[in-house]
Structure 1
Amino acid sequence: MDQDEKWQIISAQRRVVADLLAGLTEPEWETPSLCRDWRVRDVAAHLALTPRSPSVSRILVAGVRARGDFDAVNRDLAVAHADRPGADLADELRRDAESRSKPAITTLDNLVMDTLVHIQDIAVPLGRAVPMPPDGARAALDRVWAMGWPFWVRRRFRATRLVATDIDWSVDTGAADSEIRGPADALLLLLTGRTAAAAGRLSGTGTATPRPGP
Protein backbone atom coordinates (compact mmCIF):
# COMPACT_ATOMS: atom_id res chain seq x y z
CA MET A 1 0.00 0.00 0.00
CA ASP A 2 1.13 3.55 -0.63
CA GLN A 3 0.75 6.39 1.88
CA ASP A 4 -2.59 7.58 0.48
CA GLU A 5 -4.09 4.10 0.83
CA LYS A 6 -2.89 3.86 4.43
CA TRP A 7 -4.41 7.23 5.31
CA GLN A 8 -7.67 6.18 3.63
CA ILE A 9 -7.84 3.11 5.87
CA ILE A 10 -7.25 5.24 8.97
CA SER A 11 -9.91 7.76 7.90
CA ALA A 12 -12.49 5.05 7.21
CA GLN A 13 -11.80 3.31 10.51
CA ARG A 14 -12.15 6.55 12.45
CA ARG A 15 -15.63 6.96 10.98
CA VAL A 16 -16.50 3.35 11.81
CA VAL A 17 -15.50 3.72 15.44
CA ALA A 18 -17.23 7.13 15.67
CA ASP A 19 -20.49 5.48 14.58
CA LEU A 20 -20.00 2.70 17.13
CA LEU A 21 -19.26 5.16 19.95
CA ALA A 22 -22.23 7.36 19.12
CA GLY A 23 -24.61 4.59 20.14
CA LEU A 24 -23.02 3.64 23.47
CA THR A 25 -24.76 3.84 26.81
CA GLU A 26 -23.00 5.46 29.75
CA PRO A 27 -22.13 2.08 31.36
CA GLU A 28 -20.64 0.92 28.06
CA TRP A 29 -18.33 3.93 28.01
CA GLU A 30 -16.95 2.76 31.36
CA THR A 31 -16.40 -0.86 30.23
CA PRO A 32 -12.82 -2.12 30.65
CA SER A 33 -11.21 -2.31 27.22
CA LEU A 34 -8.78 -4.97 25.99
CA CYS A 35 -6.01 -2.46 26.70
CA ARG A 36 -5.06 -3.13 30.31
CA ASP A 37 -6.14 -0.41 32.77
CA TRP A 38 -7.91 1.56 30.00
CA ARG A 39 -11.67 2.00 29.81
CA VAL A 40 -13.50 2.15 26.48
CA ARG A 41 -13.70 5.90 27.11
CA ASP A 42 -9.91 6.16 27.48
CA VAL A 43 -9.18 4.25 24.27
CA ALA A 44 -11.70 6.40 22.39
CA ALA A 45 -9.99 9.51 23.78
CA HIS A 46 -6.59 8.20 22.66
CA LEU A 47 -7.90 7.71 19.12
CA ALA A 48 -9.52 11.13 19.13
CA LEU A 49 -6.37 12.77 20.47
CA THR A 50 -4.06 11.28 17.83
CA PRO A 51 -4.58 13.97 15.13
CA ARG A 52 -3.98 16.68 17.74
CA SER A 53 -1.14 15.07 19.63
CA PRO A 54 0.95 17.20 22.02
CA SER A 55 4.30 18.50 20.82
CA VAL A 56 7.46 16.41 21.09
CA SER A 57 8.77 18.67 23.86
CA ARG A 58 5.60 18.22 25.93
CA ILE A 59 5.72 14.45 25.46
CA LEU A 60 9.40 14.34 26.45
CA VAL A 61 8.75 16.42 29.57
CA ALA A 62 5.88 14.09 30.49
CA GLY A 63 8.17 11.13 29.84
CA VAL A 64 10.79 12.48 32.24
CA ARG A 65 8.12 13.00 34.90
CA ALA A 66 6.96 9.41 34.34
CA ARG A 67 10.57 8.21 34.63
CA GLY A 68 10.64 6.98 31.05
CA ASP A 69 7.35 5.09 31.22
CA PHE A 70 5.79 6.24 27.96
CA ASP A 71 2.90 3.80 28.39
CA ALA A 72 1.99 5.80 31.50
CA VAL A 73 2.35 9.05 29.53
CA ASN A 74 -0.01 7.76 26.84
CA ARG A 75 -2.54 6.66 29.42
CA ASP A 76 -2.41 9.93 31.38
CA LEU A 77 -2.95 11.97 28.21
CA ALA A 78 -5.86 9.72 27.19
CA VAL A 79 -7.52 9.80 30.61
CA ALA A 80 -7.28 13.59 30.72
CA HIS A 81 -8.83 13.88 27.25
CA ALA A 82 -11.54 11.37 28.19
CA ASP A 83 -12.95 13.75 30.80
CA ARG A 84 -15.71 15.01 28.49
CA PRO A 85 -19.04 13.70 27.18
CA GLY A 86 -18.71 10.56 25.07
CA ALA A 87 -20.63 12.21 22.27
CA ASP A 88 -17.88 14.83 22.02
CA LEU A 89 -15.26 12.12 21.51
CA ALA A 90 -17.33 10.53 18.75
CA ASP A 91 -17.77 13.96 17.12
CA GLU A 92 -14.01 14.62 17.29
CA LEU A 93 -13.23 11.35 15.56
CA ARG A 94 -15.72 12.06 12.81
CA ARG A 95 -14.61 15.67 12.39
CA ASP A 96 -10.91 14.74 12.23
CA ALA A 97 -11.34 11.55 10.21
CA GLU A 98 -9.49 12.99 7.21
CA SER A 99 -6.72 14.60 9.23
CA ARG A 100 -3.22 13.47 8.28
CA SER A 101 -1.61 14.90 11.37
CA LYS A 102 0.08 12.36 13.60
CA PRO A 103 2.27 12.31 16.68
CA ALA A 104 5.82 13.28 15.75
CA ILE A 105 7.22 10.29 17.61
CA THR A 106 5.40 7.67 15.55
CA THR A 107 5.23 6.52 11.91
CA LEU A 108 2.35 6.06 9.49
CA ASP A 109 2.79 2.27 9.60
CA ASN A 110 2.60 2.35 13.40
CA LEU A 111 -0.51 4.52 13.18
CA VAL A 112 -2.31 2.03 10.92
CA MET A 113 -1.55 -0.77 13.35
CA ASP A 114 -2.42 1.33 16.41
CA THR A 115 -5.77 2.42 14.96
CA LEU A 116 -6.87 -1.09 13.98
CA VAL A 117 -5.85 -2.64 17.30
CA HIS A 118 -7.45 0.05 19.46
CA ILE A 119 -10.74 -0.21 17.60
CA GLN A 120 -10.79 -3.89 18.53
CA ASP A 121 -9.88 -2.91 22.10
CA ILE A 122 -13.21 -1.08 22.16
CA ALA A 123 -15.39 -3.39 20.08
CA VAL A 124 -14.50 -6.83 21.45
CA PRO A 125 -15.39 -6.26 25.14
CA LEU A 126 -18.62 -4.58 24.04
CA GLY A 127 -19.55 -7.63 21.96
CA ARG A 128 -19.53 -5.62 18.73
CA ALA A 129 -18.06 -6.95 15.51
CA VAL A 130 -15.96 -4.42 13.60
CA PRO A 131 -14.43 -6.09 10.52
CA MET A 132 -10.80 -5.26 9.88
CA PRO A 133 -10.03 -4.15 6.30
CA PRO A 134 -7.89 -6.89 4.71
CA ASP A 135 -5.17 -4.58 3.36
CA GLY A 136 -4.98 -2.78 6.68
CA ALA A 137 -4.80 -6.05 8.60
CA ARG A 138 -1.94 -7.25 6.38
CA ALA A 139 -0.04 -3.99 6.83
CA ALA A 140 -0.59 -4.08 10.60
CA LEU A 141 0.62 -7.68 10.86
CA ASP A 142 3.70 -6.87 8.79
CA ARG A 143 4.45 -3.91 11.02
CA VAL A 144 4.02 -5.65 14.35
CA TRP A 145 6.16 -8.56 13.15
CA ALA A 146 8.95 -6.21 12.04
CA MET A 147 9.08 -4.01 15.14
CA GLY A 148 10.81 -4.78 18.42
CA TRP A 149 9.56 -2.74 21.37
CA PRO A 150 6.94 -2.90 22.80
CA PHE A 151 5.68 -6.29 21.58
CA TRP A 152 8.91 -8.23 20.85
CA VAL A 153 6.94 -10.54 18.57
CA ARG A 154 9.85 -12.23 16.81
CA ARG A 155 11.30 -13.20 20.18
CA ARG A 156 8.03 -14.40 21.67
CA PHE A 157 7.06 -16.41 18.56
CA ARG A 158 10.53 -17.30 17.31
CA ALA A 159 9.77 -21.02 16.81
CA THR A 160 6.19 -20.63 15.57
CA ARG A 161 4.73 -20.41 12.08
CA LEU A 162 1.85 -17.91 11.95
CA VAL A 163 -0.80 -18.27 9.26
CA ALA A 164 -3.79 -16.01 8.57
CA THR A 165 -6.78 -17.98 7.35
CA ASP A 166 -8.70 -15.10 5.77
CA ILE A 167 -5.97 -13.14 3.98
CA ASP A 168 -2.70 -13.99 2.26
CA TRP A 169 -0.31 -13.56 5.18
CA SER A 170 2.06 -15.87 7.02
CA VAL A 171 5.49 -15.82 8.65
CA ASP A 172 7.91 -18.65 9.21
CA THR A 173 11.32 -18.13 10.77
CA GLY A 174 12.58 -21.36 9.20
CA ALA A 175 12.90 -23.02 12.58
CA ALA A 176 9.20 -23.39 13.40
CA ASP A 177 8.22 -26.42 15.43
CA SER A 178 4.62 -25.29 16.00
CA GLU A 179 1.90 -23.37 14.17
CA ILE A 180 -0.87 -20.93 14.99
CA ARG A 181 -3.66 -20.30 12.49
CA GLY A 182 -6.58 -17.92 12.60
CA PRO A 183 -8.22 -14.80 11.17
CA ALA A 184 -5.93 -11.83 10.68
CA ASP A 185 -7.63 -9.73 13.36
CA ALA A 186 -7.25 -12.51 15.93
CA LEU A 187 -3.57 -12.92 15.04
CA LEU A 188 -3.05 -9.18 15.43
CA LEU A 189 -4.65 -9.25 18.87
CA LEU A 190 -2.46 -12.19 19.85
CA LEU A 191 0.75 -10.55 18.68
CA THR A 192 -0.05 -7.30 20.50
CA GLY A 193 -0.67 -9.08 23.80
CA ARG A 194 -4.48 -9.43 23.73
CA THR A 195 -4.07 -13.18 24.14
CA ALA A 196 -7.29 -14.03 25.97
CA ALA A 197 -9.42 -12.14 23.46
CA ALA A 198 -7.80 -13.95 20.54
CA ALA A 199 -7.47 -17.46 21.97
CA GLY A 200 -10.90 -18.84 21.09
CA ARG A 201 -10.46 -18.00 17.41
CA LEU A 202 -7.03 -19.58 16.94
CA SER A 203 -5.97 -23.15 16.28
CA GLY A 204 -2.76 -25.13 15.88
CA THR A 205 -0.09 -26.73 18.00
CA GLY A 206 1.38 -23.37 19.00
CA THR A 207 -1.73 -22.29 20.87
CA ALA A 208 -0.81 -24.57 23.79
CA THR A 209 2.56 -22.87 24.31
CA PRO A 210 2.66 -20.19 27.04
CA ARG A 211 3.94 -16.86 25.73
CA PRO A 212 5.67 -14.22 27.86
CA GLY A 213 3.81 -10.95 27.70
CA PRO A 214 5.16 -8.01 25.69
Structure 2
Amino acid sequence: MDRETSWAVIEQQRLAIADLLAGLTPEEWETPSLCANWRVRDVAAHLALTPQPMPVRTLLTAGLRARGNYNRMIDQLTVAYANHPVSELVSQLRRDAASRRLPAPTNYRNILFDVIVHGQDIALPLRRPLPVDSTAVAAATARAARIGRPVWDGHRLDGIRLRATDIDWALGAGREIRGPIMALLLLVTGRTALRDELTGDGLDTMLTRITAHH
Protein backbone atom coordinates (compact mmCIF):
# COMPACT_ATOMS: atom_id res chain seq x y z
CA MET A 1 0.00 0.00 0.00
CA ASP A 2 1.49 3.35 -1.03
CA ARG A 3 2.05 6.37 1.18
CA GLU A 4 -0.99 8.40 0.11
CA THR A 5 -3.40 5.48 0.47
CA SER A 6 -1.93 4.65 3.86
CA TRP A 7 -2.40 8.20 5.12
CA ALA A 8 -6.00 8.20 3.85
CA VAL A 9 -6.73 5.05 5.86
CA ILE A 10 -5.02 6.51 8.94
CA GLU A 11 -7.21 9.63 8.71
CA GLN A 12 -10.37 7.57 8.21
CA GLN A 13 -9.56 5.35 11.19
CA ARG A 14 -8.80 8.28 13.47
CA LEU A 15 -12.15 9.87 12.62
CA ALA A 16 -14.01 6.58 13.05
CA ILE A 17 -12.37 6.01 16.43
CA ALA A 18 -13.25 9.56 17.50
CA ASP A 19 -16.89 8.95 16.51
CA LEU A 20 -16.93 5.72 18.51
CA LEU A 21 -15.36 7.35 21.57
CA ALA A 22 -17.72 10.32 21.49
CA GLY A 23 -20.67 8.07 22.29
CA LEU A 24 -19.15 6.23 25.27
CA THR A 25 -20.41 6.36 28.83
CA PRO A 26 -17.99 7.21 31.66
CA GLU A 27 -17.96 3.51 32.58
CA GLU A 28 -17.05 2.49 29.03
CA TRP A 29 -14.07 4.85 29.03
CA GLU A 30 -12.70 2.81 31.95
CA THR A 31 -13.19 -0.57 30.22
CA PRO A 32 -10.03 -2.68 29.93
CA SER A 33 -8.84 -2.63 26.31
CA LEU A 34 -7.08 -5.42 24.42
CA CYS A 35 -3.81 -3.59 24.98
CA ALA A 36 -2.29 -5.00 28.17
CA ASN A 37 -2.88 -2.82 31.25
CA TRP A 38 -4.52 -0.02 29.27
CA ARG A 39 -8.11 1.12 29.59
CA VAL A 40 -10.04 2.44 26.62
CA ARG A 41 -9.12 5.88 27.96
CA ASP A 42 -5.41 5.06 27.80
CA VAL A 43 -5.60 3.78 24.22
CA ALA A 44 -7.46 6.94 23.22
CA ALA A 45 -4.74 9.02 24.88
CA HIS A 46 -2.03 7.15 22.96
CA LEU A 47 -3.81 7.78 19.66
CA ALA A 48 -4.35 11.44 20.46
CA LEU A 49 -0.71 11.83 21.49
CA THR A 50 0.80 10.20 18.39
CA PRO A 51 0.47 13.23 16.02
CA GLN A 52 2.02 15.47 18.68
CA PRO A 53 5.77 14.74 18.56
CA MET A 54 7.46 15.48 21.86
CA PRO A 55 10.63 17.55 22.22
CA VAL A 56 13.78 15.47 22.32
CA ARG A 57 14.47 16.61 25.88
CA THR A 58 11.07 15.35 27.02
CA LEU A 59 11.70 11.97 25.39
CA LEU A 60 15.16 11.70 26.94
CA THR A 61 13.75 12.48 30.37
CA ALA A 62 10.97 9.93 29.88
CA GLY A 63 13.50 7.34 28.72
CA LEU A 64 15.61 7.86 31.82
CA ARG A 65 12.55 7.62 34.05
CA ALA A 66 11.68 4.32 32.37
CA ARG A 67 15.27 3.10 32.83
CA GLY A 68 15.72 2.68 29.09
CA ASN A 69 12.73 0.37 28.65
CA TYR A 70 10.89 1.52 25.50
CA ASN A 71 7.55 -0.10 26.30
CA ARG A 72 7.63 1.25 29.86
CA MET A 73 8.37 4.74 28.55
CA ILE A 74 5.39 4.64 26.17
CA ASP A 75 3.18 3.33 28.97
CA GLN A 76 4.20 6.09 31.38
CA LEU A 77 3.73 8.88 28.85
CA THR A 78 0.37 7.49 27.75
CA VAL A 79 -1.11 6.91 31.20
CA ALA A 80 -0.10 10.43 32.22
CA TYR A 81 -1.72 11.91 29.09
CA ALA A 82 -4.91 9.93 29.76
CA ASN A 83 -5.63 12.33 32.63
CA HIS A 84 -6.83 14.86 30.05
CA PRO A 85 -10.63 15.21 29.86
CA VAL A 86 -12.10 12.60 27.52
CA SER A 87 -13.80 15.31 25.46
CA GLU A 88 -10.37 16.80 24.82
CA LEU A 89 -8.97 13.43 23.69
CA VAL A 90 -11.82 13.05 21.21
CA SER A 91 -11.44 16.60 19.87
CA GLN A 92 -7.69 16.11 19.47
CA LEU A 93 -8.22 12.92 17.49
CA ARG A 94 -10.62 14.73 15.16
CA ARG A 95 -8.44 17.83 14.88
CA ASP A 96 -5.32 15.84 14.01
CA ALA A 97 -6.95 13.10 11.94
CA ALA A 98 -5.25 14.26 8.74
CA SER A 99 -1.99 15.22 10.45
CA ARG A 100 1.17 13.64 9.09
CA ARG A 101 3.33 14.61 12.02
CA LEU A 102 5.24 11.63 13.36
CA PRO A 103 7.17 10.76 16.50
CA ALA A 104 10.88 10.84 15.63
CA PRO A 105 11.67 7.09 15.44
CA THR A 106 8.67 5.97 13.37
CA ASN A 107 7.10 6.19 9.89
CA TYR A 108 3.69 6.07 8.24
CA ARG A 109 3.77 2.27 7.83
CA ASN A 110 4.06 1.88 11.58
CA ILE A 111 1.34 4.45 12.21
CA LEU A 112 -0.95 2.49 9.87
CA PHE A 113 -0.83 -0.72 11.86
CA ASP A 114 -0.76 1.19 15.15
CA VAL A 115 -4.03 3.02 14.50
CA ILE A 116 -5.77 -0.06 13.09
CA VAL A 117 -4.76 -2.31 15.99
CA HIS A 118 -5.51 0.26 18.68
CA GLY A 119 -8.88 0.91 17.10
CA GLN A 120 -9.70 -2.77 17.58
CA ASP A 121 -8.23 -2.61 21.10
CA ILE A 122 -11.07 -0.21 21.87
CA ALA A 123 -13.87 -1.58 19.69
CA LEU A 124 -13.76 -5.30 20.43
CA PRO A 125 -14.08 -5.15 24.24
CA LEU A 126 -16.94 -2.67 23.82
CA ARG A 127 -18.57 -4.87 21.17
CA ARG A 128 -18.73 -1.93 18.78
CA PRO A 129 -18.14 -2.27 15.02
CA LEU A 130 -15.09 -0.53 13.61
CA PRO A 131 -14.67 -1.69 10.00
CA VAL A 132 -11.30 -1.49 8.26
CA ASP A 133 -10.54 -2.11 4.59
CA SER A 134 -9.02 -5.60 4.30
CA THR A 135 -6.26 -4.40 1.96
CA ALA A 136 -5.15 -1.94 4.63
CA VAL A 137 -5.27 -4.66 7.29
CA ALA A 138 -3.09 -6.89 5.09
CA ALA A 139 -0.53 -4.10 4.65
CA ALA A 140 -0.59 -3.48 8.38
CA THR A 141 -0.06 -7.17 9.13
CA ALA A 142 2.91 -7.43 6.76
CA ARG A 143 4.51 -4.41 8.39
CA ALA A 144 3.80 -5.47 11.98
CA ALA A 145 5.27 -8.91 11.26
CA ARG A 146 8.63 -7.24 10.58
CA ILE A 147 8.70 -5.30 13.84
CA GLY A 148 10.89 -6.82 16.53
CA ARG A 149 12.55 -5.41 19.63
CA PRO A 150 12.09 -3.23 21.53
CA VAL A 151 8.37 -3.67 20.80
CA TRP A 152 8.01 -7.43 20.25
CA ASP A 153 10.12 -10.56 20.00
CA GLY A 154 11.63 -10.40 16.53
CA HIS A 155 11.59 -14.21 16.24
CA ARG A 156 7.95 -14.76 17.16
CA LEU A 157 7.04 -15.68 13.56
CA ASP A 158 10.03 -17.94 12.84
CA GLY A 159 8.81 -21.10 11.10
CA ILE A 160 5.25 -19.75 10.82
CA ARG A 161 3.17 -19.14 7.70
CA LEU A 162 0.16 -16.83 7.96
CA ARG A 163 -2.67 -17.30 5.48
CA ALA A 164 -5.81 -15.18 5.32
CA THR A 165 -9.11 -16.92 4.65
CA ASP A 166 -11.11 -13.83 3.71
CA ILE A 167 -8.68 -12.36 1.15
CA ASP A 168 -5.88 -13.67 -1.06
CA TRP A 169 -2.91 -13.07 1.23
CA ALA A 170 -0.14 -15.11 2.84
CA LEU A 171 3.17 -14.42 4.55
CA GLY A 172 6.07 -16.55 5.76
CA ALA A 173 6.92 -20.23 5.54
CA GLY A 174 6.41 -23.15 7.91
CA ARG A 175 3.55 -24.31 10.09
CA GLU A 176 0.39 -22.52 9.03
CA ILE A 177 -2.02 -20.27 10.87
CA ARG A 178 -5.23 -19.55 8.95
CA GLY A 179 -8.00 -17.06 9.62
CA PRO A 180 -9.48 -13.66 8.78
CA ILE A 181 -6.84 -11.02 8.11
CA MET A 182 -7.89 -8.94 11.14
CA ALA A 183 -7.48 -11.95 13.43
CA LEU A 184 -4.00 -12.49 11.98
CA LEU A 185 -3.05 -8.84 12.53
CA LEU A 186 -4.12 -8.99 16.16
CA LEU A 187 -2.19 -12.22 16.68
CA VAL A 188 0.97 -10.78 15.11
CA THR A 189 0.72 -7.83 17.50
CA GLY A 190 0.35 -10.06 20.56
CA ARG A 191 -3.42 -10.09 20.95
CA THR A 192 -5.47 -13.27 21.29
CA ALA A 193 -8.98 -11.80 21.33
CA LEU A 194 -9.88 -13.42 17.97
CA ARG A 195 -7.99 -16.69 18.50
CA ASP A 196 -11.23 -18.67 18.10
CA GLU A 197 -11.29 -17.53 14.46
CA LEU A 198 -7.84 -19.00 13.81
CA THR A 199 -6.82 -22.56 12.98
CA GLY A 200 -3.69 -24.39 11.84
CA ASP A 201 -0.77 -26.39 13.20
CA GLY A 202 1.24 -23.24 13.91
CA LEU A 203 -1.32 -21.64 16.22
CA ASP A 204 -0.28 -23.31 19.48
CA THR A 205 3.36 -22.43 18.82
CA MET A 206 2.49 -18.79 18.21
CA LEU A 207 0.29 -18.58 21.30
CA THR A 208 3.08 -20.05 23.42
CA ARG A 209 5.53 -17.46 22.08
CA ILE A 210 3.13 -14.61 22.78
CA THR A 211 2.56 -15.83 26.33
CA ALA A 212 6.29 -16.20 26.93
CA HIS A 213 6.99 -12.66 25.71
CA HIS A 214 4.43 -11.19 28.08
TM beyond 0.5: yes
Residue 209 of structure 2 is aligned with which of 204, 209, 212?
Answer: 212
Report whether the alignment pairs 1:152 with 2:148. no
TM-superposed CA distance for 1:55, in Å, is: 1.9
Q: Is the 8 A contact 2:160 2:172 kept in 1?
A: yes
Q: Which residue of 2 aligns with 1:101?
A: 101
Report whether the alignment pairs 1:78 with 2:78. yes
Measured in 2, the distance between the counterparts of 1:45 and 1:53 equals 14
Q: Which residue of 2 aligns with 1:136?
A: 136
TM-superposed CA distance for 1:64, in Å, is: 1.5
Q: Which residue of 1 aligns with 2:172?
A: 172
TM-superposed CA distance for 1:163, in Å, is: 0.3
Q: Which residue of 1 aligns with 2:195?
A: 199
The runs of at least 4 consecutive aligned structure 1 residues that moved more than 3 Å come to none
Any gaps of 5 or more consecutive residues in structure 2?
none
Percent identity for Structure 1 against Structure 2? 50
Q: Is the 8 A contact 2:62 2:77 kept in 1?
A: no
Aligned-residue CA RMSD (Å): 1.5
Residue 178 of structure 2 is aligned with which of 178, 181, 185?
Answer: 181
Equivalent AA in structure 2 for residue 151 of structure 1: W
Measured in 2, the distance between the counterparts of 1:46 and 1:128 equals 19
TM (norm. structure 1) is 0.92
Residues 44 and 181 from structure 1, CA distance in 2 versus in 1: closer, same or farther, beyond 3 angstroms? same
Residues 22 and 16 from structure 1, CA distance in 2 versus in 1: closer, same or farther, beyond 3 angstroms? same
Measured in 2, the distance between the counterparts of 1:132 and 1:56 equals 33
- Deviates further, 96-105 or 201-210: 201-210
TM (norm. structure 2) is 0.92
Any gaps of 5 or more consecutive residues in structure 1?
none
TM-superposed CA distance for 1:156, in Å, is: 2.0
Q: Which residue of 1 aligns with 2:162?
A: 162
Q: Is the 8 A contact 1:56 1:105 kept in 2?
A: no
Equivalent AA in structure 2 for residue 125 of structure 1: P
TM-superposed CA distance for 1:85, in Å, is: 2.3
Q: Is the 8 A contact 1:165 1:184 kept in 2?
A: yes
How many matched pairs?
Answer: 209
- Deviates further, 107-116 or 68-77: 68-77
- Deviates further, 53-62 or 136-145: 53-62
Q: Is the 8 A contact 1:182 1:201 kept in 2?
A: yes
SS in structure 1 of the partner of residue 125 of structure 2: coil
Q: Is the 8 A contact 1:156 1:211 kept in 2?
A: no
- Deviates further, 7-16 or 133-142: 133-142
SS in structure 2 of the partner of residue 212 of structure 1: helix
Equivalent AA in structure 2 for residue 200 of structure 1: D
| Deviations 1:24-48, CA, capped at 9 Å, x for gaps | 0001000111111111000001001
Measured in 2, the distance between the counterparts of 1:9 and 1:151 equals 24
Measured in 2, the distance between the counterparts of 1:54 and 1:119 equals 22
SS in structure 1 of the partner of residue 197 of structure 2: coil
